[in-house]
Structures are given as C-alpha cells and as structure tokens.
Structure 1
Amino acid sequence: MDMRTPAQLLGLLLLCLPGVRCDITMTQSPSSLSASPGDRVTITCPASQSVSSWFAWYQQKPGQAPKLLIYHATSLGSGVHSKFKGSGSGTDFTLSISSLEPEDVATYYCLQHSSSPPTVIQAMTQTSQEAEV
C-alpha cells in the first residue's frame, strides 16, 4: 500500500484589527504536494516586507484548537516533536517536517506579528491523507 499526503493551498485569510493598516501579505506554498510517510516536507511562506523574526507556524487538526509549532521563526513550541523545524528571517520563512507521519494530517498556518499593535495575517495549507492500493 502506498500512502501519500497531498497538501492543497486553500487560500489567503487576512485578519486586521480595527484601525490598523494591513500592508504585509503572506503567500504560502506549494499549492499542492505529494509525499509518502517518512519523507521530508517543506512549506514556504514569504512576506511582502520584512517581519524580522516575528513569525510563527501553527498546526490545526480537525476538531482541535490550533497548536503552536514554531515561534520567533525558529524556536520549537513546548511539547512539539523535533521533526518540525522552522527557518528564515526577514521575508522568507520555511516549515519543514523531517519525517512525515499519518498524524501530521492537519491545516498549517503561517503567521506574522511584527506590527504594533499586532496584525495577524494567516495563509493556510491543508493536508489530507490518501491511500493507493
């Protein structure tokens, strides 16, 4: 049995606090990918202008609250498996999963919070699991 995990770009969700300009845009990619368990998966999320290291990655599984994976661009969240790695600064950010597993099926969000007061810009990639016989 060959198990694959495609990721599809669902779109860009922009949330702004009242009275705050939202000039920074995020574009998460790839729009789709296919990987087998054990593979390394990489998701990128470039910003239209520098957000320094004020950047985070979240994972949300169906029916659960979002879980912080990476904060300050590269720091691993509490209790997060070391197979998750965040890299980048300024405008280019990457989330890598070193060894994909079925339980990694989730929606992944990239988030910048460099402005004051904070604005939140999220792009999301949803993963699902497919089995081919």
Structure 2
Amino acid sequence: MGGVDRSLQYFPGSSSQPVVTQPPSVSVLPGNTVKLSCTVSSGNSISDYDVRWFQQQPGNSPRYLLRYKSDSDKNQGSGVPARFSGSKDTASNTGYLTISGALAEDEADYYCAVWHSDACHSDTVLRGSETKAFPPRTWAQHGIAWAAAFGLCL
C-alpha cells in the first residue's frame, strides 16, 4: 500500500495533529465478537476525543453507527443494532467499535473518526483485509457531503 498518507488532515483551529492507526486486518467468524480499534498517537489523550464510527457497504453511502466519548456521553445511530457498541481504553489511548455476534451482513468498510471540540482530526478506513487513510483530497471531495449528512466538520 505504498503512497498512502497515514497522517491525518490538519484542520484550522485544532491545537495538535494526532495520528490515528488501525490494525492491518480484522476477521471474524459469524456469531463471534470482533473489536475494531482506533488508536490516537501519544501526546493526545483519547479521553478528550469523541470517537465516531461509520459503516459503508459496497454501493451504499456511509452509515453513521455511533459516537462514543464516555459511558455517560455517547449516541447510537438511528436503527443501529445494540450489538454495535463503543468503548475506550485510556491506558492504550484507543477507541473501540465492538460488534457482538457478528453477522455476514456486517462485512463492510468501517471508518473511525475522532473529534476534539470543533476540530475534525481524522478519518481512517478499515477496508476488508487492509487499513488505509483517506488522503486529504478525499475530505475535499467528500467532506462536505459527510458534513451535511452527519453535522460534522462545519
């Protein structure tokens, strides 16, 4: 995957430029549980960030799954089953999307994005057996549509 920019686009007004990483691949058997991770680079505390997760199935628009900041500050997307849940581990500076009792229909691209206040810092996609970051031009091309759909980056 040479040439893919794994750094995150910097947005004016943000105080730092965190980097978000995900494992190169995740697989799960139907009925089992899988955890997708979204780790923020050192110097940036995951506890300060909203972590939002999106799912995109082939041929469909991205679907908002959930937002997680803490157990008392979270939001489940409309119609999103309870088997999708968010969590954080401050020790490892990581946010998680857990899919409990995974179904075949859960095979999709999963995007994690982290927010600090009004500054959008990231978008990393887990696509099947690989992880890649959106180059900045993708935000320029698609960011407005996402912002309008989900109230993000405005």
Common fold by TM > 0.5: yes
Which runs of 5 or more structure 2 residues have no equivalent in the other structure?
Answer: 130-154
Segment drifting more, 14-23 vs 81-90 = 14-23
- Identify which of 5, 25, 43 aligns with 2:36: 43
Deviations, residues 10-64 of structure 1 (Å, cap 9, x unaligned): 97473344686761110012x2233211111111111111252411011011111
Cα separation, partners in 2 of 1:63 and 1:21, compared to 1, 3 Å: farther
Alignment map for 1:83-122 (pairs within 5 Å): 83-88=83-88, 91-116=93-118, 118-122=119-123
Deviation at 1:115, TM superposition (A): 4.5
TM-score normalised according to structure 1 size: 0.73
Indicate the structure whose relative CO is greater, using CA pairs within 8 Å and at least 6 residues apart: 1
Q: Is the 8 A contact 1:40 1:97 kept in 2?
A: yes
**Aligned with 2:98: secondary structure?**
strand
Identity level (%): 32
Segment drifting more, 44-53 vs 102-111 = 44-53
What's 1:79 paired with? 79
**Aligned with 1:96: secondary structure?**
strand
What's 1:126 paired with? 127
Separation in 1 of the partners of 2:13 and 2:36? 31
RMSD: 2.5
Which runs of 5 or more structure 1 residues have no equivalent in the other structure?
Answer: 1-9, 129-133
Separation in 2 of the partners of 1:11 and 1:125? 14
Q: Is the 8 A contact 2:109 2:128 kept in 1?
A: yes
TM-score normalised according to structure 2 size: 0.64
- Identify which of 50, 63, 67 aligns with 2:63: 67
Question: Is 1:56 the counterpart of 2:58 in the alignment?
Answer: no
- The structure where strand makes up a greater share of residues is 1
Segment drifting more, 55-64 vs 71-80 = 71-80
What's 1:27 paired with? 21
